[in-house]
Amino acid sequence: MIRFAKELYLTGFAIIFRLSRQKDIAYKAGGAVAAITVIEWFIILGIYGYIETFLRKNTIYPKSAVLIAFFTLYMLNGYILFFRRHGIKFAQKFDGLEKSRRVILVVSVAVLSVAAIVFGICSAVAHRRFLGLPY
């Protein structure tokens, strides 16, 4: 299960990395890392919103703390995927995988990405309702 989760993470990077039209590898990797970070951020915000709602707590963090957390997550992803070259190596050998494995990974990444975005949005709506704010 952990191996499949790792392959999903690397496949998400590989798909976005290969779709980029940039010539420079650093720009391609930076965009792919940013996209992966945004998807992870939706998941984190969704979990955070539901935890606050279920615990009946209202903790609003300052904007600077949220930006520092996002930047830290981006740098962590950049270190793993680009600087340690795990994502680059996986992107290069992605075509060498069995076709059925590639299809399963690509479909799983697409479903996970859409689910993360929907989860984050639903959590935001539930959290706003908990705070008594209009939709």
The per-residue pLDDT for range 58-67, each reduced to its tens digit, is 776 777 888 8
Structure-token match 């935001």, residue found: 124
Please count the structural domains in the chain: 1
The per-residue pLDDT for range 10-51, each reduced to its tens digit, is 999 999 999 888 888 888 999 999 999 999 999 988 888 888
Domain span at residue 58? Answer: 2-131
If DSSP states are collapsed to H, E and C, what string results for the chain? CHHHHHHHHHHHHHHHHHHCCCCCHHHHHHHHHHHHHHHHHHHHHHHHHHHHHHHCCCCCCCHHHHHHHHHHHHHHHHHHHHHCCHHHHHHHHHHHCCHHHHHHHHHHHHHHHHHHHHHHHHHHHHHHHHHCCCC
Q: For the whole model, what pTM was predicted?
A: 0.85
